[in-house]
């Protein structure tokens, strides 16, 4: 049998080359100066917008729904509300969403350099007094994050308050890339577990540890149905189930970009009614999660990376026509 005919050899070689290129790219981003890296990120986002029609069309549909809801309810900045009926303004926000996705990839590569001093210098926290009370070392708590803005920053900010955190992560297809990401997260105090090892989250909470969950996208097909921006969708049940099992308090955080390498964010407590049944408390908590997702997203809807993924089932088979659908 020749080398080229050995089963899986070509696949392994491709994986190895891919891992080398991805890890090398992440390390280059880690060490590049700030100004050129953000310029390159914007360029990459513009290129991706130009050539990713399917993602572009989905982002446009999802974003339009959010903007129309904002306009109908009179919330958020007026420039966003105006974009609900302005095709050019809407398209500018779609293009901006691609640039923000590129900025996220840069932040992923640069996460190991996000020290406590770095975060304090660049992150403006809107409710610091409450955060200091809510996030403290040795306290079992659940911190919900989002695929929004600077996804890496709120977790790193929380680490500097709670010490260490356990968090699940989707499995990356390339094992070498997965190991690299796990090692970089461990150096900043985040112990990553796979979705298959999610039982470790329950153990961590019972041991008085903090657990972080990114919970604005339903990846398993199950989840809890809620109304989000006026239409039904499902969100992951993990935070609700963990809270019900352990009684741990639940908080939600989000950090948005306000400039290259500059951020602003806040933390909110996810409350449930006292005295209600476990079922009703869980449903109420899920509804409160959805309300807080809306609160965070309307600050900068183009920074919600879930725009590139299915959110509402009725938008996955859009009717023909309507402004902005053809490109």
Q: What is the dihedral of CA 76, 80, 82, 88, to 10 degrees?
A: 180
What is the mean pLDDT for each group of 10 consecutive residues in the chain (327 residues)? 52 72 74 86 95 96 98 97 97 98 88 82 94 91 95 86 84 69 69 78 92 87 91 94 93 94 94 80 93 98 97 77 41
- pLDDT of the residue at 321: 42
- pLDDT of the residue at 29: 76
- pLDDT of the residue at 273: 76
- pLDDT of the residue at 323: 41
Cα separation, 288 vs 269, in Å, equals 10
- Contact at 8 Å (CB) between 303 and 259? no
Interstrand relation of 141-145 and 250-259 (parallel, antiparallel or unpaired): parallel
- pLDDT of the residue at 173: 66
- pLDDT of the residue at 277: 82
State the burial class of residue 142 (Cβ atoms within 10 Å of its Cβ: 0-12, 13-18, 19+).
buried
pTM: 0.87
Cα separation, 75 vs 301, in Å, equals 12
- Contact at 8 Å (CB) between 152 and 108? yes
């Amino acid at each position: 049998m020749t080398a080229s005919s050995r089963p899986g050899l070509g696949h392994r070689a491709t994986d190895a080359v891919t891992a080398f290129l991805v890890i090398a790219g992440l390390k280059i981003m880690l060490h590049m100066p700030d100004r050129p890296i953000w310029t390159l990120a914007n360029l990459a986002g513009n290129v991706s917008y130009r050539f990713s029609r399917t993602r572009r069309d989905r982002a446009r549909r999802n974003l339009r729904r959010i903007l129309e809801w904002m306009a109908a309810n009179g919330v958020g900045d007026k420039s966003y509300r105006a974009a609900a009926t302005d095709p050019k303004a809407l398209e500018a926000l779609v293009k901006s969403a691609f640039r923000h996705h590129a900025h996220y990839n840069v932040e992923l590569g640069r996460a190991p350099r996000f020290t406590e001093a770095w975060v304090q210098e660049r992150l403006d926290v809107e409710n610091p007094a409450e955060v200091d009370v809510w996030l403290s070392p040795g306290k079992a708590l659940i911190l919900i994050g989002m695929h929004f803005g600077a996804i890496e920053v709120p977790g790193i900010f929380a680490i500097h308050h709670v010490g260490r955190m356990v968090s699940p992560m989707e499995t990356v297809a390339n094992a070498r890339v997965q190991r690299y990401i796990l090692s970089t997260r461990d150096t900043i105090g985040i112990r990553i577990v796979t979705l298959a090892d999610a039982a470790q989250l329950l153990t961590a909470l019972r041991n008085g540890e903090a657990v972080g969950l990114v919970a604005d996208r339903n990846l398993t097909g199950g989840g809890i149905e809620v109304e989000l921006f006026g239409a039904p969708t499902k969100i992951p049940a993990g935070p609700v189930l963990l809270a019900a099992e352990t009684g741990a308090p639940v908080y939600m955080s989000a950090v948005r970009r306000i400039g290259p390498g500059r951020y602003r964010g806040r933390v909110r407590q996810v409350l449930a009614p006292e005295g209600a049944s476990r079922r009703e408390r869980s449903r109420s908590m899920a509804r409160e999660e959805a309300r807080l997702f809306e609160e965070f997203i309307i600050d900068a809807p183009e920074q919600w990376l879930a725009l590139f993924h299915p959110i509402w089932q009725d938008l996955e088979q859009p009717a023909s026509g309507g402004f902005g659908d053809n490109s």
